[in-house]
Amino acid sequence: MATLSINETYAPLLENISRYLIIYGGAGSGKSQFTAQKLLVRMMTEPGHHILALRKFGVTCMDSCFRLVHRMIIILRLSQDFSINKSERIITYLPNGSDMVFMGIADPEKLKSIAGITAIWIEEATELTQDEFDQVDLRLRGQTPSYKQIIITFNPIDEKHWIKARFFDQQVDNTTILHTTFEDNAFIDAQYRRVLDLHCELNANYYRIYRLGEWGRQEIEHPYMYNFSYDKHVIDVIRYRNDTPLRLSFDFNVDPFVCLVLQQWTDLLGEHLWFIEEITLRNGDVYKMCEAIRKRFPAWMIDHCLITGDAMQRKREITQSDNIDAWRIIQRELNVSDHRMQIPRSNPTQQSSQLLCNSLLARHPDLKICSRMHELIYDISYVECDGSGSIIKDNRSKRHQRADHLDAFRYALNTWCTLN
């Protein structure tokens, strides 16, 4: 075995046992290389490991994580001690049977089938939604012979990302955070430094993210919600009012199936519109959503709720067994009276909806969104439109975010709000 060469900045983390080990910062800082080194050391010195290495998609996980770990094994001259199975995406340490499985979070059913996970590496963690991370977090449980740890590595591309809100804007128990740049990587070559500096000279945001390793600001040329302001519209604490009916706005998709929960009322201080909670189901259906709502709210609150959402669902058959549309299923499952089902005959155009929503964002005296609604806030902040006001659906994949939460937001405002 060759000598393991570890950057001085990272060396103390070999012994770190925090559940969440977050390593973030600039490009070329060596964070992924160190993670591969630490996990290989754990595989060789702690028998019984079943490590999960993840990215958003399996193909990118193979191109980055798998390739890096394989290359590290070759550099250390340990090829004879490891089985490299590319088709099954598994690397196994033969002397004690410890292994590392490489996959994408985009295949949740395959993730659920993996049992006995002892450690997890999430590479480019900003690709994941908060719900996807939570599903991964739940997989690391039970009795294991050694400490359980999730290593999270990423470049801080967006200061509004849920990772910052969850781990950086508040203190999380059992968490270690390390910030690094290429200045911390003694093994980086001079040519890469020049290339990085060249790119950063051309873009101030690139300089902030990839050179300094600081939280960046994702640039949006044509935001659909151009009047949204995080400071104005987002607040940390919103509590349900017992004297005010719940309003539920639905957007129907299998992944995700979305319901936004809000309340609206008028008092001596004026008009109030509070978006309080988002219920997001992956691979969900209308029955699972109704079950989630019943579990979350007492019956007396559901009995008085108002419901709106995607009008097109009237034209779709949702279940072959019942042969009825989703709205009738919701009405039956939640026991909602006819007059509380306030579904429009047709959806508003995206152009007219953009005008209404932005006017309300600018003029409504108290339109607030709870800071816990990370996916709605992300959609409102980053979904783009073309010159006519139509949402650019092709742009969603590059941000790993759909506009489903934005759609539910639009439906709510178009049903329950008007411009005075």
CA distances from 316 to 36, 53, 130, 134, 410 (A): 48, 39, 30, 31, 20
Bridge partners (DSSP) of residue 102 are 53
* Range of weakest confidence among 6-20, 125-139, 311-325: 311-325
User: In the chain, what is the straight-line distance between the N-terminal and C-terminal CA atoms, in Å?
Assistant: 75
Check pLDDT > 60 for residue 323: no
* Range of weakest confidence among 29-38, 121-130, 197-206: 197-206
In 3D, which of 64, 10, 9 has the Cα closest to residue 37? 10
| pLDDT tens-place string over residues 372-419 | 888 898 889 888 888 788 888 654 434 444 688 999 999 999 999 987
Average pLDDT over residues 155-179: 92
pLDDT score at 355: 92
Task: Count Cβ neighbours within 10 Å for each residue of 333-350 and write b for 16 or more, e otherwise.
Answer: bbebeeebbebeeebbeb
Contact between residue 10 and residue 165 where contact means Cβ atoms under 8 Å apart = no
Is the overall model pTM greater than 0.75, yes or no?
Answer: no
pLDDT score at 108: 63
Q: Mean pLDDT across the chain, nearest whole number? A: 88
